């Protein structure tokens, strides 16, 4: 492997030679080189080994790979949940080719993020700084570094194609506010960083849409601000605590409201409440019967939430998103429609049972 200092010298000599021969490197190309030189050594290859059963129920090992980013000098590495899920053994390969056993620190299937840790000397660790994903713009340049098909530290470039996407993770959970990019992301890129032109992480590459299994220009990344919010909790206790109302919720739409002859036409219907859960303890009422409206089966007769802490609730997604931004133990004031009248009910949110 060529030492880092020598590789930089070689790049500079090539640039000089190109200039001598009349070739030129554009400012954009110079930026690509600078970002790669800044961040590549902080991107690691992650190998996971899991045990599965064959047709005759005999155990056999299977191996997978992905990417990750070094996020501190303690050896913490940020990657995807699906890269490390169900692994009996994890191994990390650093930029210098050294291999280190890794342990799972914490994982969050909801956002397809995980933190693992290696006990490598500080001088071997190159931290990639985290940026800010709040003010991203469609058309903004992005760069992805990862290990597609086992080819270590491969750079691809592109732009942000869309923002606020919702995708379903390998574990079956909906992930919201996802970044869509046309930077080529292939198997093995999962868990690697999506970078801005400053070489800062703005997303964690997580999935592609592809009929062939290769990149077709539609890739997705979890916003880095999501990671910044949950990583401290993953490191401190191994999982993320999510608020829990203990109810099944459906959207009230005008067609259903008209069918039921309600005074309101939109809201979040409480279909069922979990016995002993926060909604049940607060006195929220679930539905009492199933009816068919068009091609939909809905559970009716329960409370319909129209406001949460003075914020309008038009659909079940509105209520779920609002609750998701809270913490276990928070109290929310719900305005509900019940049997022709409105009333206010305070609900103390619990902690959602952990998903695995």
Q: Is 96 noted as a catalytic residue in this protein?
A: no
| CATH architecture, domain 243-351 | Roll (2.30)
Distances in Å between the alpha carbon of 200 and those of 7, 131, 249, 264, 348? 22, 5, 39, 48, 39
pLDDT digits (tens, 9 = 90+) for 317-350: 889 889 988 999 999 999 999 988 999 999 999 9
Residue 89 pLDDT > 70, yes or no?
A: yes
**Set 41, 110, 112, 280: catalytic member:** 112
Residue 60 pLDDT > 50, yes or no?
A: no
Distances in Å between the alpha carbon of 293 and those of 23, 259, 261? 68, 7, 13
Looking at residue 196, its pLDDT comes to 96
Q: Is 190 noted as a catalytic residue in this protein?
A: yes
Closest to 104 measured CA to CA, from 119, 124, 85: 85
Residue 78 pLDDT > 80, yes or no?
A: yes
CATH code of the domain occupying 1-240: 2.40.10.120
Give 131-142 as a DSSP string.
Answer: ---TT--TT-EE
**Domain boundaries of the chain, sorted by first residue:** 1-240, 243-351
pLDDT band at 187 (very low <50, low <70, confident <90, very high): confident
Which H/E stretch holds residue 322? helix 316-324
pLDDT digits (tens, 9 = 90+) for 248-271: 999 998 988 888 888 999 999 999
State phi, psi for 78 to the nearest 5 degrees. -95, 130
Q: Is 82 noted as a catalytic residue in this protein?
A: yes
**Set 65, 69, 190, 215: catalytic member:** 190
**Set 48, 65, 81, 82: catalytic member:** 82
Looking at residue 131, its pLDDT comes to 95
Q: What is the pTM of this model?
A: 0.76
């Amino acid at each position: 492997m060529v030492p880092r200092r020598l590789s930089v010298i070689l790049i500079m000599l090539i640039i000089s030679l190109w200039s001598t021969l009349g070739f030129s490197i554009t400012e954009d190309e110079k930026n690509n080189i600078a970002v790669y030189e800044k961040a590549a050594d902080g991107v690691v290859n992650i190998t996971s080994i899991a045990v599965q059963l064959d047709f005759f129920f005999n155990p056999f090992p299977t191996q997978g790979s992905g990417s990750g980013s070094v996020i501190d000098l303690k050896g913490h590495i940020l990657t995807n949940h699906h890269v490390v899920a169900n692994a009996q053994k994890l191994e990390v390969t650093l930029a210098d080719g050294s291999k280190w056993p890794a342990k799972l620190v914490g994982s969050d299937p909801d956002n397809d993020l995980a933190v693992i840790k290696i006990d490598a000397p500080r001088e071997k660790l190159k931290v990639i700084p985290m940026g800010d994903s709040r003010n991203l713009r469609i058309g903004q340049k992005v760069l992805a570094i990862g290990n597609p098909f086992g080819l270590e530290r491969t750079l691809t470039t592109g732009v942000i194609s869309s923002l606020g996407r919702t995708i379903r993770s390998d574990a079956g959970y909906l992930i919201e506010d996802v970044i869509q990019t046309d930077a080529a992301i292939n198997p093995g890129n999962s868990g690697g960083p999506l970078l801005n032109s400053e070489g800062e992480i703005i997303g964690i590459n997580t999935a592609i849409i592809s009929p062939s299994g290769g990149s077709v220009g539609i890739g997705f990344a979890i916003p880095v601000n999501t990671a910044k919010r949950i990583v401290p909790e993953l490191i401190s206790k191994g999982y993320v605590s999510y608020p829990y109302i203990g109810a099944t919720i459906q959207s009230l739409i005008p067609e259903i409201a008209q069918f039921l002859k309600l005074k309101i036409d939109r809201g979040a219907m409480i279909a069922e409440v979990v016995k002993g859960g926060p909604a049940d303890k607060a006195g929220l009422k679930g539905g009492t019967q199933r009816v068919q409206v068009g091609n939909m089966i809905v559970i009716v007769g329960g409370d319909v939430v129209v406001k949460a802490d003075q914020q309008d609730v038009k659909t079940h997604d509105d209520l779920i998103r609002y609750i998701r931004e809270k913490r276990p133990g928070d109290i929310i004031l719900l305005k509900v429609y019940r049997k022709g009248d409105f009333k206010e009910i305070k609900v103390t949110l619990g902690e959602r049972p952990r998903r695995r």
